[in-house]
Amino acid sequence: MASSVIAIDGPAASGKSTMARMLAERLNIPYINTGSLYRAIAWKALKLGIPCKDAARIADMLETTRVRYAVPPEGGNPDIEIDGAFPGALLRTQEVAQGASDVATLPLVRRFTLDIQRDAAKRQLVVMEGRDIGTAIFPDAAHKFFLTATPEARAKRRLSQGGETPDGATVASVAAEIAERDRQDSERAVAPLKRADDAIFIDNSGLSIEETLQLLLKHVKGNES
Ligand code: DC
């Protein structure tokens, strides 16, 4: 039987978090953001002064770290609980994002996070978003999507989040940075970002949020009937 997971993978700024959250809301099922798991590990390491690339010290730290997805006291989607606390918004800083990117390349961290992610989908159908959900975590997911957009489209979205219309040169320079990060993420030895052979590929460069959502819903509902 397929795992009770709708997997949404894709590169940074591809719109997958927005899409995963909206899809879960429409289907009335939980949304699980797996980036938070790597961020929580980095957050604890940074608090303890442990460099996020130091495999031996991160391994020691994880021996006494308890992490799981749980519904926070205020309700809503399951969120990361680490050593009994919900760090929530504290995980969204640039420093933690960089640390997450470092710890995510350590094989021991990927082994540590595997069961935590699998446990999060044990009880019911969930939408799970990340980089390797459809390939490494749930190769037998009920539905798999790989969401992406051109580096230019992603650069424009990221820049316009600040409410301004970016000029062509700024878009081009951010698009070049995004393309370079894609290359690194796809070529790294550990858990590279790659589309599962059986994932539905959606390039949403020219699509609105609602159009992309309708496309996902069509596939999910179509496969049910
Ligand atoms: O999606 P995000 O920015 O919160 O992810 C934080 C970091 O974790 C990012 O560098 C990619 C990494 N990550 C990963 O390697 N595998 C996942 N399933 C999710 C995130």
Q: What is the pLDDT of residues 186-198, one digit of tens each?
A: 888 888 888 999 9
User: What is the distance in A from the centroid of ligand 1 to the CA of 101?
Assistant: 6
The one-character DSSP state at 89 is G
Give the CA-trace dihedral at 168, 170, 175, 181, to 10 degrees: 170
Dihedral class, residue 83 (left if φ above 0, else alpha if ψ from -120 to 50, else beta): left
User: What is the distance in A from the centroid of ligand 1 to the CA of 225?
Assistant: 33
- Residue 115's H or E segment, with its range, is helix 107-120
Q: Is the CB of 16 under 6 A from ligand 1?
A: no
Q: Is the CB of 134 under 6 A from ligand 1?
A: no
How far apart CA 119 and CA 62 sit, in angstroms, is 17
Name which residue sits closest to atom 10 of ligand 1, judged by CA: 101
pTM above 0.85, yes or no: yes
Paired with 70 in beta bridges are 79
Q: What is the pLDDT of residues 5-17, one digit of tens each?
A: 999 999 988 999 9
Q: From start to end of 28-76, where are the E strands?
A: 31-33, 67-70
Q: Is the CB of 69 under 6 A from ligand 1?
A: no
Q: What is the pLDDT of residues 63-117, one digit of tens each?
A: 999 999 999 999 999 999 999 999 999 999 989 998 998 999 999 999 999 999 9
Of 147, 148, 145, residue with least CA distance to 199: 145
Q: At what angle do helices 35-48 and 94-103 cross, to 10 degrees?
A: 100
Q: What is the pLDDT of residues 159-205, one digit of tens each?
A: 887 777 889 999 999 999 899 888 888 888 888 888 999 999 999 99
User: What is the distance in A from the centroid of ligand 1 to the CA of 207?
Assistant: 24
Q: Is the CB of 137 under 6 A from ligand 1?
A: no
User: What is the distance in A from the centroid of ligand 1 to the CA of 104?
Assistant: 7
Q: What is the largest CA-CA distance in the chain?
A: 52
Residue to substitute in 34, 92, 117 for testing ligand 1 pocket (most ligand atoms within 8 angstroms of CB): 34
Residue to substitute in 43, 101, 195 for testing ligand 1 pocket (most ligand atoms within 8 angstroms of CB): 101
Q: Is the dihedral of CA 205, 211, 217, 219 positive or negative?
A: negative
Q: From start to end of the chain, where are the E strands?
A: 3-9, 31-33, 67-70, 79-82, 126-130, 141-148, 200-203
